[in-house]
Amino acid sequence: MVDVAIENGHALVTIDNPPVNPLSVSVRQGLMDAVRRVNEGKCETAAIVCAGRTFVAGGDISEFAGPPPLPHLPDVLDAIEASPTPFIAVMHGTVLGGGLELALACAWRIADEKTRFGLPEVNLGLIPGAGGTQRLPRVIGLERAARMAANGNPVNTKTFEEFGGLDLVFSGDPTQALAAFRAALPARPVNTSDRSVENADLTALKAEIAKSAKGADAPMIALETTALAATLPFAEGSKIERQTHLELRASAQSRALRRLFFASRSVTRPDRLKAFTPAAINHVVIVGGGLMGAGITAASLAAGHRVTILERDTESAEAGRGRVEAIIAKDLESGRITESKAEARRASLSAGANYAAAFDADIAIEAVFEDPDVKRAVFAELAAVMSEDALIATNTSYLDPNLISEGLPGPGRFLGLHFFSPANIMKLVEVVGTSATADQTMATAFAFARGLGKIPVETGVCDGFIGNRILSAYRRQADYMIADGASPYEVDKAMRALGMPMGPYELQDRTGLQISWANRKRQLAAGTWPGRYVDIADRLCEIGRQGRGSPMKKGWYDHTGGAGQPDPEIETMVAAWRSEHSTGGQSFTSDEITMRIMAAIVNEANLILEEGIATSDAAVDIVWTEGYGFPKHLGGPMFWAEETGIERMREAFAAIEAQSPGSWKAAKIFQG
Ligand code: NAI
């Protein structure tokens, strides 16, 4: 795993631990041995390089569940720093967590121009544990280091160089760059841990982090630990850092985040599909260039595909192209992409109204109006021109893909690919197999979605699939509470206090009330609405209060002045509804609101698992954290319920059953 080659008095220490060279115990031991060998060999310098696509991209997360085996990383890094033979970190790829800590312990750091550097431990509910928070400020300054440790976001080579983190930037062959660096070797700098740190005012940063952390503990702890570098000697600061790191490993938040980390790997690569080789995707057709179609197009272009938008007529096709170009322009403006990338994306995009253009498509995704007849007609036209090996998918939110594809030739190629809005940004994609979808199709769809940088999750067919079906239960319980006495603003506030980015009514205003209104009407007409029906939202829709984006700019809130404001008119409408239905008068504490909503969510999630719609608890948790903003540090609804305890969940479920008798089918865990 760690190889040492000595030539002309210089050592090359190569770490080879695929796929991302994590600092597993054998790598740590290998580095310890390397320090001894280069000093025994009296080497002038020792360079650390990594095989494969990246320098060390972090610690070995699989070791985090128990006590770390010896040697410990801080000791290895102290040995590297104190080594009489000075070390040079030669970096490429992603230098993250333990990887950056390793680089900071070296005397010099040189990097390829496309490298990224970061301390992402907070994303796993942790802080660095091997001197990262204490060495980084000694190299790049306190405020910058505290920001990197607290927000976990990596910076690019240019930025890290400007921060003073690099001694040389190269492009291309690292061996040549290393030789050149060694040929004009600067004087050995003072060891990082012996440098002092200038104090800085972190008040503004603290306020920023407190806001962005949204209830996650690690970001502020990372910030405060980094700040110790200005007042404590390295040895003391790093001792506190190590202790805090080890304590956080056992915390519920870190366990939740680590479980999600592993879950997102397993859920996005179902074992069943591993035997299939995904088909190559070159040409992607998107039917419908509206909100969703434009987002999916932008994501496909970003992944390097050639994309054709098909619309009802050429005018709508050009409008679709315009939406995609607006997304590209925004990416360009924000610096996320270069002009040449933007140009390549524009050049890979076509738009028109003639289905003949789909003849060589490898996948077509329809995102037309949520109307079964329109969608069926689109599927039939696509099936008529496309090869039977090519995939045809629907982005429907609620409709049954079986019915959309019924009777069409080549049933194994049809499926649902449910993206989330904005589809160029949101990572979740629900992959919906019909009763006839071939595993080969599923394997290709998963690979396509992963290639788009998405998180695909398999779901069976039911009303709303995994995510929106749970959302319906969530909204039903919220509506029952406002029918019985809570204000929609109290409900929103309680869910925000749990850590949701917004409550159910704010979310409706954001996404528009009309889609779920149409869906409720459909369920009522089909007789599938479960139990008590509260039609306050329907009344809002009827008078045009269809959300922030509606012409009236009103929904549950009044958005006419920009930011949404609670609206007395809503209180009046809710009160009128209650008096007509002889309800109201109950009050709910914030905790009761949260517990009741969570009981509804967890019950629905368990029903979904019992029915085989979701394959695991983890799948539900990934869907709700990636698609609906459930706080990741709470692990997702299933993890949250486990931590909260079955007894409290049962009590809360009994309360919602008593509140709205006959409205809830109980999952097995809530029966009896
Ligand atoms: P939209 O109304 O913004 O776009 C629909 C587009 O389809 C329009 O540009 C329209 O001209 C085009 N279209 C209609 N009939 C067509 C036909 N026969 N051939 C070609 N183009 C046609 O709608 P949106 O919001 O993009 O939704 C599209 C689909 O995505 C729906 O099934 C919806 O349920 C689903 N969806 C929507 C989400 C959202 O947040 N809006 C989220 C996930 C899925």
pLDDT digits (tens, 9 = 90+) for 40-67: 999 999 999 999 999 999 988 888 778 8
Residue 452 domain-assigned?
yes
Atom of ligand 1 nearest to the CA of 290: 4
Per residue in 404-445, pLDDT (tens digit) is 999 999 999 999 999 999 999 999 999 999 999 999 999 999
Q: How far is the CA of 288 from the centre of ligand 1 (A)?
A: 6
Q: Are residues 480 and 449 in the same domain?
A: no
Residue 203 domain-assigned?
yes
Per residue in 434-457, pLDDT (tens digit) is 999 999 999 999 999 999 999 999
- Mean pLDDT across 109-113: 98
Name the residue of 291, 375, 426, 548 to mutate for ligand 1: max ligand atoms within 8 A of Cβ: 291
Domain limit, last residue, from 459, 481, 500 = 459
The confidence score (pLDDT) of residue 519 equals 87
Residue 260 domain-assigned?
no
Residues framing ligand 1 (Cβ under 6 A): 287-293, 310-312, 316, 367-370, 374, 378, 395-397, 419-421, 511
C-alpha span between 28 and 589 (Å, rounded): 52
For residue 223, the enclosing domain spans 2-250
Per residue in 161-211, pLDDT (tens digit) is 999 999 999 998 999 999 999 999 999 999 999 999 999 999 999 999 999
Residue 393 domain-assigned?
yes
The confidence score (pLDDT) of residue 342 equals 97
Q: Are residues 454 and 477 in the same domain?
A: no
Per residue in 353-403, pLDDT (tens digit) is 999 999 999 999 999 998 999 999 999 999 999 999 999 999 999 899 999
Task: Please tell me the total count of domains within the chain.
Answer: 3
Mark whether 590 is an active-site residue.
Answer: no
- Model confidence at 275, in pLDDT bands (50, 70, 90)? very high
Q: Which member of 224, 370, 430, 506 is catalytic? A: 430
Residue 265 domain-assigned?
no
- Model confidence at 157, in pLDDT bands (50, 70, 90)? very high
Question: Which CATH number covers residue 76?
Answer: 3.90.226.10
Q: Are residues 538 and 620 in the same domain?
A: yes
Q: What is the DSSP string of 561-573?
A: TSS-EE-HHHHHH
Whether the CB-CB separation of 301 and 342 falls below 8 Å is answered with: no
The confidence score (pLDDT) of residue 428 equals 98
The confidence score (pLDDT) of residue 248 equals 96
The confidence score (pLDDT) of residue 156 equals 96
Q: What percent of the chain has pLDDT over 90?
A: 95
Q: Are residues 437 and 543 in the same domain?
A: no
Q: Whose CA is nearest to atom 39 of ligand 1?
A: 421
Residue 130 is classified by DSSP as S
The confidence score (pLDDT) of residue 62 equals 81
- Mean pLDDT across 281-309: 98
- Model confidence at 319, in pLDDT bands (50, 70, 90)? very high
Q: Are residues 332 and 215 in the same domain?
A: no
The confidence score (pLDDT) of residue 317 equals 98
Question: Is residue 558 classed as helix, strand or coil in its secondary structure?
Answer: strand
Q: How far is the CA of 316 from the centre of ligand 1 (A)?
A: 12
Q: How far is the CA of 419 from the centre of ligand 1 (A)?
A: 12
Q: Which member of 468, 487, 519, 663 is catalytic? A: 468
Per residue in 67-94, pLDDT (tens digit) is 888 999 999 999 999 999 999 999 999 9
Q: Are residues 88 and 214 in the same domain?
A: yes
Q: Locate 5 and state its tokens.
A: 């080659």
Q: Collect all residues with Cβ–Cβ distance below 8 Å to 263 and sequence separation of at least 6.
A: 616, 618, 619, 621, 622
The confidence score (pLDDT) of residue 515 equals 84
Q: How far is the CA of 607 from the centre of ligand 1 (A)?
A: 29
Number of H helices, E strands in the chain: 27, 19
Q: Nearest-CA neighbor of 424 among 603, 332, 549, 297?
A: 297
Q: How far is the CA of 378 from the centre of ligand 1 (A)?
A: 12
Mark whether 354 is an active-site residue.
Answer: no
Q: Nearest-CA neighbor of 656 among 593, 607, 609, 575?
A: 593
Please report, as a single letter, which amino acid is at residue 190: V
- Mean pLDDT across 473-482: 98
**Tally of CA atoms within 13 A in the half-sphere of 626 that contains its CB:** 27
The terminus-to-terminus CA distance of the chain in angstroms comes to 55
C-alpha span between 418 and 611 (Å, rounded): 20
Name the residue of 285, 366, 368 to mutate for ligand 1: max ligand atoms within 8 A of Cβ: 368
C-alpha span between 170 and 186 (Å, rounded): 17
**pLDDT at residue 644 is higher than 80:** yes
Mark whether 468 is an active-site residue.
Answer: yes
Q: How far is CA 147 from CA 94, 142, 482, 501, 654, in A?
A: 18, 9, 41, 22, 45
Q: Are residues 634 and 657 in the same domain?
A: yes
- Model confidence at 7, in pLDDT bands (50, 70, 90)? very high
Q: How far is the CA of 382 from the centre of ligand 1 (A)?
A: 16
**pLDDT at residue 467 is higher than 80:** yes
- Mean pLDDT across 659-669: 97
Q: How far is the CA of 206 from the centre of ligand 1 (A)?
A: 42
Neighbours of 664 (CB within 10 A): 24
Q: Are residues 128 and 210 in the same domain?
A: yes
Q: Whose CA is nearest to atom 17 of ligand 1?
A: 312
Q: Locate 48 and state its tokens.
A: 């650390």
Domain limit, last residue, from 409, 440, 459 = 459
Domain limit, last residue, from 415, 431, 459 = 459
Q: Are residues 430 and 485 in the same domain?
A: no
Q: Whose CA is nearest to atom 29 of ligand 1?
A: 367
- Model confidence at 24, in pLDDT bands (50, 70, 90)? very high
Q: Locate 348 and state its tokens.
A: 């890979």
Q: Collect all residues with Cβ–Cβ distance below 8 Å to 54 and sequence separation of at least 6.
A: 20, 21, 92, 93, 94, 95
- Model confidence at 299, in pLDDT bands (50, 70, 90)? very high
Q: Are residues 514 and 561 in the same domain?
A: yes
Q: What percent of the chain has pLDDT over 70?
A: 100
- Report the mean per-residue pLDDT for the chain: 96
Q: Are residues 305 and 414 in the same domain?
A: yes
The complex scores an ipTM of 0.98
Question: Which CATH number covers residue 656?
Answer: 1.10.1040.50
Q: What is the DSSP string of 39-98?
A: HHTT-SEEEEEESTT-S-----GGGTTSPPPSSPHHHHHHHHHH-SSPEEEEE-SEEETH
Residue 270 domain-assigned?
no
Atom of ligand 1 nearest to the CA of 377: 18
Mark whether 397 is an active-site residue.
Answer: yes
Residue 517 domain-assigned?
yes
Q: Are residues 499 and 385 in the same domain?
A: no
Question: Is residue 397 classed as helix, strand or coil in its secondary structure?
Answer: coil
Question: Which CATH number covers residue 331?
Answer: 3.40.50.720
Q: Whose CA is nearest to atom 31 of ligand 1?
A: 370
Q: Locate 226 and state its tokens.
A: 């980094």
Residue 257 domain-assigned?
no
Whether the CB-CB separation of 442 and 318 falls below 8 Å is answered with: no
Whether the CB-CB separation of 58 and 80 falls below 8 Å is answered with: no
Which residues are 456's β-sheet partners? Answer: 429
Neighbours of 313 (CB within 10 A): 10
